Amino acid sequence: MRDLGKLEDLPQEYRDALTEQNLVPLWPSLRGVMPPHKPSPRTQPTVWRYANIKPLLIEAGELTPIEKAERRVLVLANPGHTLEKMQASSAIYLGMQLLLPGEWAPAHRHTPNAIRMIVEGEGAYTTVEGEKCPMSRGDLILTPTGMWHEHGHDGTDPVIWLDVLDLPIVYYIEASYHEESGKQEQSKNSNGSKYRFGGVVPTPMFDRSNKPYAMYRYPWMDVRQTLVTMGEDFPEMDFLQVTYINPETGLDAENILGFYAMMVRPGQQVSLPVRSPAMVFHMIEGSSEITISEQSFQLIKADTCCAPGYTPVQIKNTSSTDPCFIFIADETPLHKKLGVFENRTK
């Protein structure tokens, strides 16, 4: 590899002259911004254990009322990016959010796309553009860019969910902001009701319009059954995974991050393709051992971990009797739009 000059090789007088004109010599930093053969990610393999998060989140509910917090969230920060940057990867933000019985988190909208993966509890809901989306464990709820949304709780026990946003990339391009509003009027009609069951829609109301977001709530009971049926119908299939999509366009459910659900059979180990996007894994049911490069993490229900891109990942179901179910978020749609997506197993 060609040996490039170092910054200290330049005379101090010359460096001062560059600084005065807001100029920087490229060659001393060229290998840092474009390393050979593959990137040098700051994202580190990291695990966040729900058993450690939950008591701190419940305590936050006691320390800070919703009126002062607006959104009571503990951010799952990756130390490779420093905790101050509040990001799990270069494009993914994660947060565990708490809503207590009787609370209401006021309506707002923002430029980053967001989803809610429900971790625990019943009785809460998210209202998106007037559509009330009940929250149950494992449900995926979209709150896409520019969509008004608020959270309420009519139940009796705390509800906790995992927020996944593309906030880091939207913030980096200086496009991140929010707006506030009053309480939304809930619509009697569900935006996603015409897609409630796969393959059929009400004939009189169906008009394919290429809407960017055809539905906001993806119930876990339907997704889980789909995975179980796939496993029964295709016993030879090692890789059991589904993608959350817009049923009207067939494209990813949101336009920057991709969302998936995976089932791993009892005792099975699967090796994921080595690809360019970073990935986040959240255990919905069961337990697993996730090996990222040479680091292994034992995950149980509601634990979360992340893996940098260009890194081999193996997932082993640690139960010999029950399948495990994993929610996955990654940066694939963004990488494909930028033309940098790579699958290195091909």
pLDDT higher than threshold 60 for residue 240? yes
pLDDT of residue 5: 83
The CA R_g of the chain, rounded to the nearest whole Å, is: 22
pLDDT of residue 214: 81
Work out the average pLDDT over 206-228.
84
Work out the average pLDDT over 74-103.
97
Q: How many CA atoms lie within 13 A of 209 on its CB side?
A: 8
pLDDT of residue 185: 79
Per-residue pLDDT tens over the stretch 41-67: 999 999 999 999 999 999 999 999 998
Q: What percent of the chain has pLDDT above 70? A: 92
pLDDT of residue 172: 96
Domains and CATH numbers, the chain: 46-338 (2.60.120.10)
DSSP state of 275: B
pLDDT of residue 192: 56
- Return the biggest CA–CA distance within the chain: 76
Look at 23-27, 181-185, 201-205, 259-263 and tell me which has the smallest mean pLDDT: 201-205
| Number of Cβ within a 10 Å radius of residue 335 | 20
